[in-house]
């Protein structure tokens, strides 16, 4: 009898989730599992939105952004009675293992589920903030960066046409990874992120000198977590006497067809997750570190803080001062 394996997505959506779902299903089936899909995240686990992963449910999803399984955040999952309900739903189908594609909050929720009922899981990191400890890469990051790049390139066209300053706010509540990589890859003049101190006086002096030498426009990339976007826009107008505009990219960064890189990373993470369960690992989070795939225990993820790439910080420091 084949072993039941449930696959779900949880937390914020990101491109790359659908390729990961598809590969998890196909590879798990080859390894003797009977794969199931959980729709609507933790809420679906409680409300029994669980279906066998037949071919129709996984067909034509590789190129789609977001997650066809949908996602949710469930306060009910924090209550034991609802986790019991979720466990009973799995038991009726003979599901004894799970793969969750999401962030550290999703991993912690499934870790509590394991503590209660002993259902082991493997976690595939998927968040555009790229802020899960222990891994250099999370699914969706490359697609999000390309969505930002496309938007910034378009904004640059109008910035040069009208000699304007543009402030572009990108996602990143606590992590400035998207802002840093976007600033460096787009040639922005300013980058403000939570991890770096900034000095507007120094930025103003630098840009004033550049304006004297022929600069006609300015691009600034700001992480939303700094809460500096509106202030910086006004400051550019007042201090540099430039027509400054603010563009908040918002959820456009989460969408879009997954890039080739995200699709291949999804496949590799998915294979690693199924293999980890096959090997008897419990609560293992898939990682990509220094060019190699591996796993770390959930405790190391939940008990540590993400550290941003120091080389990126050094490269971006001049853009903050």
Active site residues: 129
Instruction: Quote the strand ranges of the chain, DSSP E.
Output: 3-9, 33-38, 50-52, 95-102, 121-125, 165-170, 190-192, 218-223, 244-248, 284-289, 292-297
On whether the CB atoms of residues 49 and 39 are closer than 8 A, the answer is yes
Within the chain, how many helices (H) and strands (E) appear?
12, 11
Residues in the chain: 321
- CA 314 to chain CA centroid, nearest Å: 23
Give the whole-angstrom CA distance, residue 295 versus residue 268: 12
Give the whole-angstrom CA distance, residue 171 versus residue 225: 8
């Amino acid at each position: 009898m084949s072993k039941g394996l449930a696959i779900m997505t949880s937390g914020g959506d990101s491109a790359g989730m659908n390729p990961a779902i598809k590969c998890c299903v196909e590879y798990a089936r080859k390894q003797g599992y009977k794969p199931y899909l959980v729709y609507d995240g933790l809420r679906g686990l409680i409300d029994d939105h669980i279906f066998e992963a037949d071919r129709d449910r996984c067909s034509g999803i590789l190129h789609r952004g977001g997650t066809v399984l949908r996602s949710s955040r469930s306060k009910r999952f924090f209550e034991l009675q609802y986790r019991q309900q979720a466990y009973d739903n799995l038991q009726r189908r003979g599901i004894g293992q799970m793969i969750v594609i999401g962030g550290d909050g999703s991993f912690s929720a499934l870790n509590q589920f394991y503590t209660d009922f002993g259902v082991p899981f493997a976690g595939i990191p998927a968040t555009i903030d790229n802020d899960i400890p222990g891994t250099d890469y999370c699914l969706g990051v490359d697609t999000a960066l390309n969505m930002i790049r496309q938007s910034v390139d378009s904004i640059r066209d109008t910035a040069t046409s009208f000699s304007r300053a543009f402030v572009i706010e990108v996602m990143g509540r606590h992590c400035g990874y998207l802002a840093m990589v976007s600033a460096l890859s787009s040639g922005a003049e300013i980058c403000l992120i939570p991890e770096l101190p900034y000095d507007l006086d120094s930025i103003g002096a630098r840009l004033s000198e550049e304006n004297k030498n022929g600069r006609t426009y300015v691009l600034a990339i700001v992480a939303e977590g700094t809460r500096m976007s509106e202030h910086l826009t006004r400051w550019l107008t007042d201090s540099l006497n430039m027509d400054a505009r603010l563009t908040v990219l918002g959820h456009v960064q989460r969408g879009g067809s997954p890039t080739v890189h995200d699709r291949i990373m999804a496949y590799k993470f998915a294979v690693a997750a199924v293999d980890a369960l096959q090997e008897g690992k419990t609560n293992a989070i898939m990682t990509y570190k220094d060019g190699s795939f591996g796993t770390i225990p959930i405790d190391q993820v939940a008990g540590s803080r993400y550290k941003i790439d120091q080389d990126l910080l050094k490269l971006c420091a001049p853009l903050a001062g």
